[in-house]
Amino acid sequence: MLSVRKPSVTAAVRTVPDREAFERGLVIVGAHAGAGASTLTSLVGRDRNIPVWNMGTIDRLVEGSLPPVQARGRPVVVVARNTVMAAQHAIRAVTALDAASGPRIAALVIVSDGAGREPRDATTRFALLQDRVGGLVRLPFINALRLVNSPDEVEIPARTREAIGQVWDLAFPQSRY
């Protein structure tokens, strides 16, 4: 059954101690094509009045002499699927950002592909990145996204809202958003 999102009538007022950092926003970069960066950008930016910058995939950003991502003080979230190959791409993405003395990687978001449990080899590879990022967040599969033109049309399930909350907590640890 498709769950269609209903517009919210009221928005909660939140206090933000570090308002300037919060207003600069959040940068999202895919570790590989099809990682879910665009969908995550839509889901994370929903219901929050701050910019969320989708930089696309890191592969095209690594070419050249500049750092792959110039976040200008914004926290960065790297996104990957939950496959063995995606885990290898995530390792390369985190390494590229680290090598360039790049921005702080607030989180690695691992997006479920809905094909069952995460492969053990992928879980092991992602665990290798635990100390190199602010935290690992596993985003559950949302079947309803396959049936709509835009993620904005789907009601976000509770487990997904919890995962998005974890991303915000890692990106803005001093803030109440």
Residue 64 makes CB contacts below 8 A (sequence gap 6+) with: none
Cβ burial 57-76 (10 Å sphere, 16+ → b, else e): bbbebbeeeebbbebeebbb
Report CA Rg, the chain. 16
pLDDT, tens only, 43-96:
988 877 788 989 888 876 666 555 667 777 789 999 999 999 999 999 999 988
Q: In what order do the strands lie in the sheet with 105-111?
A: 52-57, 26-30, 76-81, 105-111, 136-139
pLDDT single digits (tens) 123-162: 999 999 999 999 999 999 999 998 999 888 999 999 999 9
Q: Could you tell me if 131 and 98 are in contact, meaning their C-beta atoms sit under 8 angstroms apart?
A: no
Q: CATH fold of 19-171, please?
A: Rossmann fold (3.40.50)
pTM, two decimal places: 0.82
